[in-house]
Structure 1
Amino acid sequence: MSAAPLELPRWADYALVPILAVATSFLAAGLVVLAIGENPLEATAIMLRGALGTGEGIGFTLYYATNFIFTGLAVAVAFHAGLFNIGGEGQAALGGVGAALVCLRFESLPAWALIPLASLSAACFGALWALIPAYLQARRGSHIVITTIMFNMLASALLVYLLVSVIGRPDSMSPETRTFGPNAHVPFMHVMAAGLGWSIPATPLNASFLLALAACAALWALIWRTRLGFAIRTVGANPSAALYAGISISRITVIAMLISGGLAGLLAVNEIMGVQDRLLLEFTAGYGFIGIAVALMGRSHPVGIILASVLFGVMYQGGAELAFDKPAITRDMIVTISGLVILFAGALDGIFRGPLSRAFAARRRAGP
């Protein structure tokens, strides 16, 4: 009779496996770069220098990371409840609608009232867009993956309709709203730093980065320090045990999806209130789908999600610098590198977990 496989230590599961996955993905990407006649070490140096070598690069990296934090947290909440929410794109799009409606309707409000109100509206619209798939899963048995995919498409169509026929600028050829008033703008970090007497380069990084960090802290407290968080984790780990303990699975499903949709909706705060200052098409730019990889790499833990978000921010910003300095390495190749990271960190992390489990089991049997 074979012994049960040894579970990996927490530090190995949360750190060693993702590190090996990222290292292997970059090794595979290096082979692709080598195949087109470029030096992979030089390409890596350019990417890291472009993303982390200057204050401006760091600002852009953290700006991208802010979006990934919001969508990664959104996916992570659903993961903890045993749900696979891939509707972050649609929920973020509806979050943009919610934020835009408040910014356009109440633009006379002072910034200290308008920005929180618009942010709350973004979260509520994102949550409401997640409510219908959640209800269908909880009450009708519809699969959350299918319904959230469908709602991504519905959100895209709805956004086009609203921007073309309802709230868009009639004098513009592009489907977008008019520019928001100045009180709706989330302040840039370089402006806030200047107010404190510090000088940092001007970048799109804005105060929504602080909101993203606050969301990480709030999610950690919710999931690991509250009864609701315990119920969410129990439903995700063992629905039968949760039901036996008197936990309503349908209730937890709806609550988890509402929180997930609200977090995805907050992406709009960074994009349309912090940078664009208007609602426009495709402002989500695939961040909702990358959030799935972020949550997988970060093991659905806020600290891991922050680190994974920074990694993808490095690839986005560093990849832009790399494509500029090395024309042979196109943006499509940067997307390929990102895809390799997703592949090894998500779909193929078992190729590292199995050997590591056996290695730790052998070490345990060998003793000290």
Structure 2
Amino acid sequence: MSEQQQTTSDEREGEEPFTQRFVRELTTGSVMVTFLSVVLALIIGAILIAVSDPEVQDSVGYFTDRPSDTFSAIGDAVGGAYSALFTGSIIDFSEYTVGRALLPLGETLTNATPLIAAGLGFALAFRAGLFNIGGEGQIILGAIFAGYVGFGMDLPVGIHLVLGVAAGMLGGALWGGIVGFLKARTGAHEVIVTIMLNYIARFLIAYLLTTSVFQRAGASNPVSPQVHDSAVLPTFFDSSRLHLGFILVFAAAAGVWWLLSRSTVGFEFRAVGANPHAARTAGMSVARAYILVMVLAGALAGLAGVAQVLGTERYLTSGISSGIGFDAITVALLGRANPWGTVAAGLLFGALRAGAVTMQASTGTSVDIILVIQSLIVLFIAAPPLVRTVFRVRVRDTGGVGARSMGWGS
């Protein structure tokens, strides 16, 4: 028997392939391990803030004479940075009105909106056993479709906005559907296809913004005309950027939850993700599941593009995706590929993005610290035995599956 045949035989006899094992272990991980991963990342972030602070560095030079100065400097550096992070992302107590005090929270929700939408797209495909790395491309296509409807058509109020949202989701769905079709019909690996489509989408929008249809009249830089007011997602407050897109994304999260936990289609997605061979034996169409789940995942990512172009930016640029598609992968992994977990993770990352600006402006702490914290969170999510060891969390040994329910299994 050849090595490949032996591997296939072992998988059929109970040795799970990596993809199936990864999906199972991530989606059954412990909430406690996730929380501790965030805490550990913040602790390491505090250490980096302290080490890079000039006052801390100066006080270390005479630590043996006055150690209290060093500890005081560390407390000021870390406390000041994290206090500014909170002020810039949740509430600013220095403001005199409730509306202005809560502006940072609105900024957090605004930043979280596209992250949650694209994260839901990754999470949904992930539950079907697919790694949708193409969020960037799907966001860009969604933004292109929604943007064109927004500035290229004159339609009545209400109809214009609905059509713009639908067009954006359609653009993302088409881009995701290509991946699902190639996966189902040819067996092409979705990671390779999505990465290539990301590049195509990036160069496509760069080209379109040089054409007369998409480039703003009189502008020398690649930027589209402003979206018409009738197609703009309305904001909740005049002084805030928070728009209706957040409600749409929250409704999308509820829809994904219902789809996965209450519908027959969602059951098929989860069955295919757990074991496509068993799903096929049970009479399910794996090919259809791959196509449908990628269409839906693309539509969700397209909704992120809609939020960007019709809500936050209101015009197209080559950087409209802003790396959201890649950050959304982190959000979905932190949320354990669960719809509500993805919402919570998106809010956390939205808060980090919003607070990072205030933190740098108030304390001089580089925003790169936030990127390090986000990366550490993902690292610890992927290594639960390390987190359990650091915090001395015991895993209850119930034999196999029960033990793994506390984390990923050592």
Calculate the TM-score normalised by the size of structure 2: 0.79
Structure-1 residue corresponding to 2:163 = 117
Structure-1 residue corresponding to 2:61 = none
Measure the CA separation in 1 of the matches of 2:388 and 2:79. 28
- What one-letter code is carried by the residue in structure 2 that aligns with 1:335? L
Two-structure CA RMSD over aligned residues (Å): 2.4
Counterpart of 2:357 (choices 310, 320, 325) is 320
Structure-1 residue corresponding to 2:175 = 129
Structure-2 residue corresponding to 1:207 = 244
Answer yes or no: is the 8 Å Cα contact 1:61–1:314 preserved in 2.
Answer: yes
Deviations 1:214-252 (A, max 9, x none): 001111111111110000000001111101111111110
Deviation at 1:356, TM superposition (A): 8.3
Moved over 4 A (4+): 8-12, 353-358, 362-365
Structure-2 residue corresponding to 1:195 = none
Deviation at 1:343, TM superposition (A): 2.2
Counterpart of 1:59 (choices 79, 83, 106) is 106
Answer yes or no: is the 8 Å Cα contact 2:139–2:325 preserved in 1.
Answer: yes
Deviation at 1:174, TM superposition (A): 1.8
Pairing 1:161–2:190 present: no
Summarize the Cα distance change of 1:9–1:148 in structure 2 as closer, same or farther, 3 Å threshold: closer
Answer yes or no: is the 8 Å Cα contact 1:14–1:298 preserved in 2.
Answer: no
Counterpart of 1:309 (choices 326, 346, 351) is 346
Of 173-182 and 119-128, the range deviating more from structure 2: 173-182
Pairing 1:330–2:376 present: no
Q: Within 5 Å, give how 1:223-242 maps onto structure 2.
A: 223-242=260-279
Pairing 1:87–2:134 present: yes
Structure-2 residue corresponding to 1:44 = 82
Measure the CA separation in 2 of the matches of 1:14 and 1:110. 49
Deviation at 1:306, TM superposition (A): 1.2
For the residue of structure 1 that corresponds to 2:158, the secondary structure is helix
Structure-2 residue corresponding to 1:249 = 286
Summarize the Cα distance change of 1:356–1:152 in structure 2 as closer, same or farther, 3 Å threshold: farther
Identity %: 34
Answer yes or no: is the 8 Å Cα contact 2:380–2:387 preserved in 1.
Answer: no
Counterpart of 1:348 (choices 372, 383, 401) is 383
Measure the CA separation in 2 of the matches of 1:188 and 1:228. 35
Deviation at 1:116, TM superposition (A): 1.0
For structure 2, the 5+ residue unaligned runs are 1-23, 54-73, 92-100, 404-410
Of 204-213 and 96-105, the range deviating more from structure 2: 96-105
Measure the CA separation in 1 of the matches of 2:139 and 2:176. 10
Measure the CA separation in 1 of the matches of 2:184 and 2:392. 37
Number of paired residues? 345
Query: RCO higher in 1 or 2 (8 Å CA, sep ≥ 6)?
Result: 1
Deviations 1:115-159 (A, max 9, x none): 111101000110101122222111111110011011101000000
Pairing 1:97–2:133 present: no
Deviation at 1:320, TM superposition (A): 0.8
Answer yes or no: is the 8 Å Cα contact 1:75–1:292 preserved in 2.
Answer: yes
Deviations 1:69-94 (A, max 9, x none): 10110100111100000100110000
Measure the CA separation in 1 of the matches of 2:27 and 2:129. 23
Deviations 1:180-223 (A, max 9, x none): 221011100115xxxxxxxxxx2211011000110011111111
- What one-letter code is carried by the residue in structure 1 that aligns with 2:32? L
Deviation at 1:318, TM superposition (A): 0.9
Structure-2 residue corresponding to 1:31 = 47
Summarize the Cα distance change of 1:144–1:277 in structure 2 as closer, same or farther, 3 Å threshold: same
Q: Tell which structure's C-alpha radius of gyration is larger.
A: 2
Summarize the Cα distance change of 1:12–1:137 in structure 2 as closer, same or farther, 3 Å threshold: closer
- What one-letter code is carried by the residue in structure 1 that aligns with 2:88? G
Structure-1 residue corresponding to 2:37 = 21
- What one-letter code is carried by the residue in structure 1 that aligns with 2:271? T
Measure the CA separation in 2 of the matches of 1:185 and 1:276. 10
Pairing 1:295–2:332 present: yes
Summarize the Cα distance change of 1:148–1:27 in structure 2 as closer, same or farther, 3 Å threshold: same
Measure the CA separation in 1 of the matches of 2:174 and 2:25. 38
Q: Within 5 Å, give how 1:261-272 maps onto structure 2.
A: 261-272=298-309
Answer yes or no: is the 8 Å Cα contact 2:27–2:337 preserved in 1.
Answer: no
Deviation at 1:103, TM superposition (A): 1.6
